[in-house]
Structure 1
Amino acid sequence: MGLLAAGLAVPAIGASGQVSNTAVEAFNSLPSELEDTEMAANTTVLAADGSTIATFYDENRVPVDLDQISPFMQNAIVAIEDERFYEHGGVDPKGLIRALVKNEVSGGVSQGASTLTQQLVKNTLKEAAYLAGDDEAYQAAQEQTEERKIKEIRLAAALEKKMTKKEILQNYLNIAWFGGQVNGVQAAAKYYFGTTAAKLTLPQAAMLAGMVQSPTMYDISDKDKIEAATERRDTVIKKMYAQGMIDEETRDKALDSKIKTKITPTYQGCANAGTSAYFCDYVYNLIVKGDGFTSLGKTAEDRANAIKRGGYTIKTTLDKKILKAAWKATTEAIPADDPSRVATASVTVQPGTGKVLSMIQDKYYSVDKGSENTTINYSTDYQYGGSSGFLTGSTFKPVVLATWLKSGKTLNSTVNGSPGALAVSSFKSCGSSIRSTETWNFSNAGDGDSESGNMTAWDATANSVNGAYIRMENQLDLCDVKKTAEALGMHLAAPIASQCADEDGKTTTEIPDCIPSIVLGVANQSPLTMANAYATFAASGKYCEPIVVTSIKDRDGKSLDIPKKSCKQTLDADVANAATLGLSRALINGTAASTGPLASGQKASGKTGTTNNSQDTWFVGYTPQLATSVWVGPETVNGTRKTMQGVSINGRYYSNVYGGTLAAPIWKKIMTSALEGTKIESFPQAPSSLIGATAAPAADADDDDQ
């Protein structure tokens, strides 16, 4: 008995003939200390206001300190699982002798006599094996063998010397399995009763303590098992009374109570994040597939496991007010299940910080069938769960405008805007003429007077005149245009084979510098890229890397290293401010005039975009506070995309859809709600040297844009 009390029971066990010589020899070679194993815990993703966006886990578990666990729960688990817990040294001599006798009679291992400490050892070994992906060790940790029991005894005795009883009890209650994916008392309290471990009542605590023996047999979420679960609960209550933990009145009141469940699942993953799902998906993919979060692991697999098991708190930049406004605006314009199969996506970025405040699309994040569902994030690059991007149309023209201003031209410099033709060889790339014998014949979206003859670059911008912008680009170097695009953070949404002859065979995401038609937006980009590029204009030429994660803390509250805010002046402030002035007429007398300016009086600049045959349409615009991009276009169905010509969208027929048709009104609704209650701010003044001589008032444009 003295040996048993000390937790060194092998000689006594061996004397009974119950254990083989191999097991006895194995005892001496076993490690005498349990390796520290940090149990898997839920990772929580938060919005900027601290509210929960999503939870990730393999095992639904939220570890808590013992003082956050109801005393009823602490007593209940001791009463039913290990009544001499506070007396033994890891192994209960009385229980062990009783089990040995019973096992001797039965000729097997029918009774284990495991203390809470031994159970903690067993569960810790299982958890360590699971986290290591060692299936063999996982099975060995729960095999009904004498060798395993001996190992538990040795480790339990050692653990009692290393940890206090309170620490052992705390760890046990956090690691215990309560059925399904419910692990630990905090998760169990929420799942079965919709409460916390700290608020568990006596009947609730007794019920959970009773479940530990067989969570499937006493599953109170199954109405067919309520009777058995109630009997088990009552056994626990009676045990607590017998051990002096509760008085008679408390016992009787608890026994008379009925089990009242409030099943409250903790759904995991972005699919359960509601309207935040696509933002959540971007956060997850950026952490796992990007190269800026090595503090969570060196490889993508390591980081994915860390998110599911590490118990981290990830705070993001998501502004739920803007997200709500964006969801309302996009789905009111185009319902998720609209028969047209036209979709829309929107991203809002904060100029000067790069914070991504909102990311939404008019779809539900789901793998289920149906036109209303998709897991493709239209707002992001392919690498991070997005599509291959969309042609940007005339929303690329501000890049050429900024390059035009950088070259010494002004907003009021004149250029011919008429349709026409130019030899491709007349365009320059890095100082040399492009080698080509082709002629580029081009036209304008409209045929009004505002799109022909000489005009200022400012008028050409407001009316989105292709002819003028093609001739503006013809006076520039395509390599300079590319440099401006890169200064704004522009890049292709997915790698493609280079279209430039000197880069034959190269796969790239760079904006090409050998294609004159780049001015009309023939490079596929994501809404996030476009919103952030225009945010650079809004911030007077200061480009910031997009940020979605502001902090990551481990389960102990320690902050981990994450990518720091990265902003730098990539475009001359005067050029950026002049470009902002050049884009200021879109909602007033430009291609989005039918949408009109913001009612609050807040000034805004922006640009519409429409590609050939109205396949992709855009409005990207900004105020000093926010930059928002809106894309509208057909989904890919059976490998093809239709156009938006002669199409009914949300019950309304359109012969042609332009950037000012749907995208601009969606943008206005989002920005109106997002800016509600904020102070009106002004853009910095553009220098007169880049404005040039005052031009005559421009004519109103048709509501179209190429």
Structure 2
Amino acid sequence: MFAARASGLVKLLGLCLTAGVLLAAMVFPFVGGLGLASNRAADTVDQTSGDLAKGELPLVTTIEDMNGQPIAYLYDQYRIPLESNQISDTMKGAILAIEDKRFYDHRGVDWQGIARAAAKAGVDGGATQGASTLTQQYVKNYMAFVLGADNEQEAWEKATEATIGRKMREARVALQLEQQMSKEEILTGYLNIVPLGNQTYGVGAAAKAYFNKTADKLTVPEAALLAAIANRPSSLNPGASPDKALERRNIVIDKMRENGAFGTDQTEAQKKADEFKAAPLGVVEDLKILPKGCVGAGDGPIYGFFCSYLLDYLRENGITDKQLQRGGLTIKTTMDPKATKAAKASAEQQVSKTQNGISNVMSVVEPGKDRHKVRALVASRDYGNNAELGQVARPVPAEVLPFGPGSVNKVFTAAAALEKKVIGIDKEMSVPATYYSRVYPNGGAPWKVENAGKYNDKMSLTQALATSPNTGFVILQEKAGLDSVVDMAYRLGMRETLQGVNRSGEPLKADKSNGPSQGDWTKQNNAGSYTLGPGATSVLELANVAATIVSGGTWCPPTPVEKVIDRYGKEIPLKEKPCEQAVNTDLANSLAQGMSHDTTGSGTAAAAASASGWNRPAIGKTGTTEEHKSVAFMAATPQYAGAVMTYADGNRPEVICANPIRFCPGSSQGVFGGQVAAPTWFNAMKAIHEGLPVVPLPPAAPQYK
């Protein structure tokens, strides 16, 4: 591969360190008079060699879905590296004709050109007359676009500075390069590295972009155009300056004729050249530039949220931006296109993508004992940068959002109470219509808690999880202890939500100056409302909580990655957190049974389940915040877990009403989780589960009944 040749170039540059003989002293004895001492030049080469990386060309990183299909690309330089036999002889002939017709005759340096440059330097201190060979240009481009790719403009200016010192360094490396690489390898290396405009580097990418073909199929006019714009892509851009590009292309064709590319019969050669010069530029109308980033690649409006979360996750787990943009990685992800499209369609069905100020987001996670794979991250809004179209370019289904999940948090209260043996799933709990809490005072007075509907005075924990009385869970939280409830939420999966952000949902700074964290604030302020879910939350973490419960209490980080493969096919290990047994399996299974009635009978999600035709066992819990500015639904089967949140995402959040979904300031008939969030979940999950067997929930353990 070309990377091996590039690595050879690095080794050659390193040889400059050990050679110990300055080219200038070997060839130009008079250079000492210019004040260029041998050790100073050698030091310069030493410095350059010391800054070298592995010698790998910047390549495109490909992001794939779970089926191996590309969904996005990342790169600083669009390049398709090629072997020599993948480049047409026409292309090779064109570049040699215009850049270095004596390429196969010299040993890497045009001595006469160097002499002219040295003479010029003796007059005015510059070196504007160069006559660089193709080998020297290869070195120059390598210095600028590989070693200096972090700042190409600065590196290019340094690699092309008009000084005799630069010429000497370039020539010295070129001489050694010719001793270690064949002419064909050098030519191929140059054709792989040279910038050709419109974000393309090398003839592989340029052939695809300009002509939508591979480099081995380039015609004479096409090859001549690429040779024409080599190293001058800005001024000879065939789109912006077609006349200049055509003029330069035709010069290349003439040079090819002079070089014998069209045969030895001069009349016939001239005839062919004229025919080639009469051809149009032939550039495709819509340049085939590989889209890059999460907005432009693949099905950006749908896949972009997952892509954006993926990049954040990779950075947090050991992959650098440099690796992502230059490494030529293959990132095999967990994204399920079927699940993603089903979730996106369902989210939009409930809330239009152009709905002013209201968004509907969903996350889907596959449960497991060893990994929790993220299968879908979607929103009713499209992913993108056009705010006028309601687009958003943040991974909102995975972010901590500034609104709460409402009564979904009652699951954490139930889990903590079960663990402390305060109650069992079949045991009755007190559910008064109104309750005054003295454990969580409100301004010194008892905190008044009321239910949103009418309930029996007593009911089982299972019934309470299905029907969601406020008073009963505040009492249960008092018995279990607020700290235990918050800690349980963290253990089950609300980790970034509780320890990564402050009370307002803002990410904590490294010095915690904008803290405390939301979890610490809740404990410090004895905020009994936690069980009612008013605080900021993450929809992805809610989905992962459900995955933890149906995975027998095993928490794993929600991961979007199957594996990361480098350019050589070797897997790069990530620094992912290990899975943990968050709660014991008996407790998790019992909690799952306790949550299994929300989708049936009088459960808050039963109507949505019935309307969708849902007929599988599932755990579930709806949630609605007090002011009806956000609603949520968290649910799972043993095969898939997911969470949905509908919330006011504009600058002026108001009460949200349903049928149709809209803002309704001052209304007492705000939306509930069972009306928008739950239908989104069921309609999506019905499609996602299509063809899968019906799997029962595990039985509850006797000690938790």
Q: TM-score, normalised by structure 2?
A: 0.83
- Per-residue CA deviations over 1:384-404 (Å, capped at 9, x if unaligned) read xx3544311111112222223
Distance (Å, rounded) in 2 between the aligned partners of 1:216 and 1:133: 17
Deviation at 1:614, TM superposition (A): 0.7
For the Cα contact (< 8 Å) 2:144–2:156, is it kept in 1?
Answer: yes
For the Cα contact (< 8 Å) 2:99–2:134, is it kept in 1?
Answer: yes
Q: What is the aligned partner in structure 2 of residue 401 from structure 1? A: 414
Instruction: Sort the Cα spacing of 1:110 and 1:423 in 2 relative to 1 into closer, same or farther, 3 A.
Output: closer
Distance (Å, rounded) in 1 between the aligned partners of 2:674 and 2:292: 39
Distance (Å, rounded) in 2 between the aligned partners of 1:64 and 1:509: 53
Q: What is the aligned partner in structure 2 of residue 438 from structure 1? A: 445
For the Cα contact (< 8 Å) 1:614–1:658, is it kept in 2?
Answer: yes
Instruction: Sort the Cα spacing of 1:80 and 1:133 in 2 relative to 1 into closer, same or farther, 3 A.
Output: closer
Deviation at 1:103, TM superposition (A): 11
Distance (Å, rounded) in 1 between the aligned partners of 2:264 and 2:93: 7
Instruction: Sort the Cα spacing of 1:107 and 1:580 in 2 relative to 1 into closer, same or farther, 3 A.
Output: closer
Q: What is the aligned partner in structure 1 of residue 680 from structure 2? A: 666
Q: What is the aligned partner in structure 1 of residue 374 from structure 2? A: 356
Distance (Å, rounded) in 2 between the aligned partners of 1:109 and 1:487: 67
Deviation at 1:118, TM superposition (A): 0.3
Q: What is the aligned partner in structure 2 of residue 609 from structure 1? A: 623
- Per-residue CA deviations over 1:61-80 (Å, capped at 9, x if unaligned) read 34344344344333332333
Distance (Å, rounded) in 1 between the aligned partners of 2:214 and 2:413: 58
Q: How does 1:620-659 map to 2 (within 5 A)?
A: 620-637=634-651, 640-645=652-657, 649=661, 655-659=669-673
Instruction: Choose from 228, 248, 256 the match for 2:247.
Output: 228
Q: What is the aligned partner in structure 2 of residue 468 from structure 1? A: 472
Instruction: Sort the Cα spacing of 1:406 and 1:129 in 2 relative to 1 into closer, same or farther, 3 A.
Output: closer
Q: What is the aligned partner in structure 2 of residue 596 from structure 1? A: 609
Deviation at 1:110, TM superposition (A): 5.7
Instruction: Choose from 456, 471, 491 the match for 1:487.
Output: 491
For the Cα contact (< 8 Å) 1:498–1:506, is it kept in 2?
Answer: no
- In the alignment, structure 1 residue 281 sits paired with structure 2 residue 308: yes
- What one-letter code is carried by the residue in structure 2 that aligns with 1:287? L
Q: TM-score, normalised by structure 1?
A: 0.82
For the Cα contact (< 8 Å) 2:224–2:249, is it kept in 1?
Answer: no
Q: What is the aligned partner in structure 1 of residue 225 from structure 2? A: 207
Deviation at 1:592, TM superposition (A): 1.4
Task: Identify which range, 585-594 or 114-123, moves more after superposition.
Answer: 585-594
Q: What is the aligned partner in structure 2 of residue 510 from structure 1? A: 519
Deviation at 1:479, TM superposition (A): 3.0
Instruction: Sort the Cα spacing of 1:136 and 1:593 in 2 relative to 1 into closer, same or farther, 3 A.
Output: closer
Question: SS at 2:197's partner residue?
Answer: coil
- What one-letter code is carried by the residue in structure 1 that aligns with 2:283? T
Identical columns (%):
30
Q: What is the aligned partner in structure 2 of residue 702 from structure 1? A: none
For the Cα contact (< 8 Å) 1:76–1:240, is it kept in 2?
Answer: no
- Per-residue CA deviations over 1:114-148 (Å, capped at 9, x if unaligned) read 11110011112223663465976652321233332
Distance (Å, rounded) in 2 between the aligned partners of 1:168 and 1:556: 21
Deviation at 1:355, TM superposition (A): 1.0
For the Cα contact (< 8 Å) 2:361–2:378, is it kept in 1?
Answer: yes
Instruction: Choose from 360, 364, 382 the match for 1:344.
Output: 360
- What one-letter code is carried by the residue in structure 1 that aligns with 2:105? E
Q: Which has the higher helix share?
A: 2
Alignment: residue pair count: 653
Q: What is the aligned partner in structure 1 of residue 8 from structure 2? A: none
Distance (Å, rounded) in 2 between the aligned partners of 1:71 and 1:602: 64
Deviation at 1:634, TM superposition (A): 0.6
For the Cα contact (< 8 Å) 1:27–1:154, is it kept in 2?
Answer: no
Instruction: Choose from 681, 693, 697 the match for 1:679.
Output: 693
Instruction: Sort the Cα spacing of 1:136 and 1:320 in 2 relative to 1 into closer, same or farther, 3 A.
Output: closer
Deviation at 1:656, TM superposition (A): 1.7
- What one-letter code is carried by the residue in structure 1 that aligns with 2:431? G
Instruction: Sort the Cα spacing of 1:139 and 1:93 in 2 relative to 1 into closer, same or farther, 3 A.
Output: closer
Q: What is the aligned partner in structure 2 of residue 431 from structure 1? A: none
Deviation at 1:208, TM superposition (A): 1.2
Question: SS at 2:324's partner residue?
Answer: helix
Q: What is the aligned partner in structure 2 of residue 697 from structure 1? A: none
Distance (Å, rounded) in 2 between the aligned partners of 1:22 and 1:333: 77
Q: CA RMSD in A?
A: 3.8
- Per-residue CA deviations over 1:226-261 (Å, capped at 9, x if unaligned) read 532542453365356448699969878755654322
Instruction: Sort the Cα spacing of 1:14 and 1:24 in 2 relative to 1 into closer, same or farther, 3 A.
Output: farther
Q: What is the aligned partner in structure 1 of residue 347 from structure 2? A: 330
Q: What is the aligned partner in structure 2 of residue 699 from structure 1? A: none
Is there any run of 5+ residues in structure 2 with no aligned partner, and where? 1-20, 506-511
Q: How does 1:291-330 map to 2 (within 5 A)?
A: 292-293=317-318, 296=319, 303-330=320-347
Instruction: Sort the Cα spacing of 1:90 and 1:31 in 2 relative to 1 into closer, same or farther, 3 A.
Output: farther
Deviation at 1:662, TM superposition (A): 0.8
Instruction: Sort the Cα spacing of 1:85 and 1:667 in 2 relative to 1 into closer, same or farther, 3 A.
Output: same
Task: Identify which range, 401-410 or 651-660, moves more after superposition.
Answer: 651-660
- What one-letter code is carried by the residue in structure 2 that aligns with 1:348? V
Instruction: Sort the Cα spacing of 1:106 and 1:215 in 2 relative to 1 into closer, same or farther, 3 A.
Output: farther
Is there any run of 5+ residues in structure 1 with no aligned partner, and where? 1-6, 297-302, 381-385, 428-433, 692-706
- Per-residue CA deviations over 1:16-63 (Å, capped at 9, x if unaligned) read x89962357588646678735434333332222222232223333343
Distance (Å, rounded) in 1 between the aligned partners of 2:31 and 2:487: 80
- What one-letter code is carried by the residue in structure 1 that aligns with 2:366? Q
- Per-residue CA deviations over 1:286-320 (Å, capped at 9, x if unaligned) read 333x2x21xx4xxxxxx223322333222222111
Distance (Å, rounded) in 2 between the aligned partners of 1:227 and 1:328: 48
Instruction: Sort the Cα spacing of 1:12 and 1:103 in 2 relative to 1 into closer, same or farther, 3 A.
Output: farther
- In the alignment, structure 1 residue 496 sits paired with structure 2 residue 502: yes
Instruction: Sort the Cα spacing of 1:104 and 1:456 in 2 relative to 1 into closer, same or farther, 3 A.
Output: closer
Instruction: Sort the Cα spacing of 1:677 and 1:83 in 2 relative to 1 into closer, same or farther, 3 A.
Output: farther
Distance (Å, rounded) in 2 between the aligned partners of 1:504 and 1:171: 52
Distance (Å, rounded) in 2 between the aligned partners of 1:321 and 1:604: 21
Q: How does 1:2-81 map to 2 (within 5 A)?
A: 10=24, 14=28, 21-23=34-36, 29=42, 35=49, 36=52, 37-81=55-99
Instruction: Sort the Cα spacing of 1:232 and 1:222 in 2 relative to 1 into closer, same or farther, 3 A.
Output: farther
Distance (Å, rounded) in 2 between the aligned partners of 1:212 and 1:567: 52
Distance (Å, rounded) in 1 between the aligned partners of 2:554 and 2:206: 49
Q: What is the aligned partner in structure 1 of residue 288 from structure 2? A: 264
- In the alignment, structure 1 residue 147 sits paired with structure 2 residue 160: no
Instruction: Sort the Cα spacing of 1:199 and 1:527 in 2 relative to 1 into closer, same or farther, 3 A.
Output: farther
Distance (Å, rounded) in 1 between the aligned partners of 2:475 and 2:146: 67
Task: Identify which range, 401-410 or 251-260, moves more after superposition.
Answer: 251-260
Q: What is the aligned partner in structure 2 of residue 174 from structure 1? A: 192
Deviation at 1:351, TM superposition (A): 0.4
- Per-residue CA deviations over 1:405-442 (Å, capped at 9, x if unaligned) read 323332221122232223333x7xxxxxx999531211
For the Cα contact (< 8 Å) 1:498–1:507, is it kept in 2?
Answer: no
Distance (Å, rounded) in 1 between the aligned partners of 2:396 and 2:572: 30
- What one-letter code is carried by the residue in structure 1 that aligns with 2:698? P
Distance (Å, rounded) in 1 between the aligned partners of 2:467 and 2:264: 82
Distance (Å, rounded) in 1 between the aligned partners of 2:147 and 2:496: 43
Distance (Å, rounded) in 2 between the aligned partners of 1:28 and 1:378: 54
Question: SS at 1:631's partner residue?
Answer: strand
